Amino acid sequence: MLPPRPLRFEAQPQRLTVDLARTAIVVIDMQNDFCHPDGWLSGIGVDISGARTPIPVLEKLLPHLRAQEVPVVWLNWGNRPDQANLPPGVRHVYDSDGTGGGIGSTSGPSGSPVLQARAWAAAVVDELVAGPSDIGVDKYRMSGFVDTPLDSILRNLRVDTLLFAGVNADQCVLATLMDAANLGYDVVMVSDAVGTTSPQYCMDATVYNVRQCFGFTTTSADLLSALAG
C-alpha cells in the first residue's frame, strides 16, 4: 500500500482533495486522425482547431504529473485492421454517407488507414510525446471502457481517481468519464485540457453535466498551482 499523498486544489462545484498515489490522468484521442492537419477529420473538412486546443495545456501539465509519479494513460481510437469487433452502428457513425471514407479508408491526406491501431492515424500527435512509463490503450467505441483492458489496468495501478483530458469533450471524453463514474471511480475533468470540434453549446452542456451528475471540473492552472505548493 503506497503512503497517501494528498493534493488539495480548486475545483467545481467544490474544492477537492485527492490522493496522488491513487490518481491517474486519462488522455483521450489526442491522435493524428483527430488533431493533425493531415488527419482524417481535417481531410473531410472538419475545423480541427478545437481539437488542438488541449495540446499546449497538456505539454505543460503532463511533465508535472509524471514528476509526481501520476500514471499517464493514452486512450486512442485504434481499430483492428479487420474491424472484426466493430458493430454496424460504429461503422456508420464514421461513414454516415456510406461512401467508404470512414474507418480503414486510406483516401485521406496522410494515406494512413483511418483510426487503425499501430498506424499513423492512431498515433499521438507529435507535440505530445508519450513518456517511457506512460500506458497506451486502444479503444473502439466512444467509451474507452467497452471491450478494452482499461478498467483492469487502472485497478492494477490501485487507482480510484481519474483526471480526464483530450477530445472530443462532449463525445469520447464524456462517454469514458460517465462509465468511469458508473464503475466507482472519482472523476475530474480538466476543463482547459479538453477540446471539441462541436459547437460551444455542446461543451457548455458537457461541463454542466460533469459537475451536476458525475464529478468535478478543474483547470490545469489550479492543478499546477497545487502541485507547485
Residues annotated as part of the active site: 29, 139, 172
Q: Is the pLDDT of residue 208 over 90?
A: yes
pTM reported for the whole predicted model: 0.96
pLDDT grade for 216, boundaries at 50, 70 and 90: very high
| HEC sequence for the chain | CCCCCEEEECCECCCEEEEHHHEEEEEECCEHHHHCCCCHHHHCCCCCHHHHCHHHHHHHHHHHHHHCCCCEEEEEECECCCCCCCCHHHHHHCCCCCCCCCCCCCCCCCCCCCCECCCHHHCECCCCCCCCCCEEEEECCCCCCCCCCHHHHHHHCCCCEEEEEECCHHHHHHHHHHHHHHCCCEEEEEEEEECCCCCHHHHHHHHHHHHHHHCEEECHHHHHHHHHC
Q: Is the pLDDT of residue 100 over 80?
A: no
Mean pLDDT of 32-45: 96
Q: Which domains does the chain have, with CATH numbers?
A: 13-218 (3.40.50.850)
pLDDT grade for 97, boundaries at 50, 70 and 90: confident
